[in-house]
């Protein structure tokens, strides 16, 4: 498996520094948060996009994906959601990223069936567009659809290779789903896996990997047993928790922890 980290852990950091951190601390790739606060966002022009690609290629660091904020189950206008996803897919294509992350974002005023149907319809449309650009749109296990079973209810009816799943291990755990069950639900759709660690369900402040309660060993074990050979991406949510320890100082320890889990599961 390849290892990456998300720029959510180093908010606003210049790309040159992000690339340096990845190379220095032994990560194969980076998940880029696609937001106006960050160096890579939807407003970049063609020349700027080419420069992003060149900077990562020169360092031998891969852009794993773009973490976007489109909400496919939200009770919003279809065209607004579709336009946001198209823009994310185009940006991903231009910078050489194979994946785009979207959220479910279902509203409390919707029934579960309506939210599922809305998300499936929008993801089907997005997948058709993404296929022409060689990008996969991944529905993250999050908010209204936090478990693998929730995501599978949407992705099964879509039935398109370019629509997949992003497994966020914190949300499936908070949803009460065991790693074996999550993998079984998501395996036909799985793009990559976001790992992290927290103190508990009532305190989701990010912690160094291995120092919290999330079942990282179990997640790596099931992936290894199933011979899954994708990406593990450390999403350290420093952007939302300024009191959390700075990510650069714990990147090497995090990579070493994941390496030990992979060796133990081999």
Domain residue ranges in the chain:
2-244
Check residue 67 and give its pLDDT: 98
Matching residue, tokens 């990559």: 192
CA–CA dist 125, 69 (Å, integer): 17
3-state secondary structure 32-83: EECCCCCCCCCCCCHHHHHHHHHHHHHHCCEEEEEEEEEECCCCCCHHHHHH
CA–CA dist 131, 216 (Å, integer): 32
251 sits in which H/E element: helix 251-265
Q: What is the CATH number of domain 2-244?
A: 3.20.20.150
Check residue 109 and give its pLDDT: 86
Check residue 118 and give its pLDDT: 97
CB proximity list for 76: less than 8 A, separation 6 or greater: none
Burial class (CB in 10 A: 0-12, 13-18, 19+), 91: buried
Does the global pTM surpass 0.95? yes
Residues in a beta bridge with 165: 139, 190
Block mean pLDDT (10 aa), the chain, length 266: 97 97 98 97 98 98 98 94 98 98 93 96 98 98 97 97 98 98 98 98 97 98 97 97 97 98 88
Whether 193 and 167 have beta carbons less than 8 Å apart is answered as: yes
């Amino acid at each position: 498996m390849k290892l990456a980290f998300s720029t959510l852990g180093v908010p606003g950091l210049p790309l040159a520094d992000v690339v340096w951190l990845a190379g220095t601390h032994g990560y194969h790739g980076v998940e880029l948060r696609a937001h106006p606060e960050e160096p890579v966002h939807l407003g970049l022009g063609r020349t700027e996009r080419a420069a992003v690609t060149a900077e990562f290629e020169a360092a031998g660091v891969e852009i794993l994906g773009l973490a976007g904020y489109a909400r496919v189950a939200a009770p919003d206008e279809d065209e607004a959601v579709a336009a946001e996803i198209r823009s994310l897919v185009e940006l991903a294509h231009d910078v050489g990223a194979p994946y785009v992350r979207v959220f479910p974002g279902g509203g409390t005023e919707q029934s579960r069936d309506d939210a599922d149907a809305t998300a499936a319809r929008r993801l089907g449309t997005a997948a058709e567009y993404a296929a022409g650009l060689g990008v996969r749109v991944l529905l993250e296990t999050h908010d209204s659809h936090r478990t693998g079973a929730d995501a599978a209810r949407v992705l099964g009816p879509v039935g398109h290779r370019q629509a997949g799943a992003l497994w966020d291990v914190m949300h499936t755990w908070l949803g009460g789903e065991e790693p074996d069950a999550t993998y079984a639900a998501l395996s036909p759709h799985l793009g990559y896996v976001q790992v992290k660690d927290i103190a508990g369900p009532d305190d989701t402040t990010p912690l160094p990997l291995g120092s919290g309660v999330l079942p990282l060993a179990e997640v790596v074990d099931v992936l290894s047993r199933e011979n899954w050979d994708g990406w593990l991406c450390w999403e350290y949510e420093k952007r939302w928790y300024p009191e959390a320890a700075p990510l650069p100082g714990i990147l090497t320890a995090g990579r070493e922890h994941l390496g030990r889990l992979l060796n133990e599961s081999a």
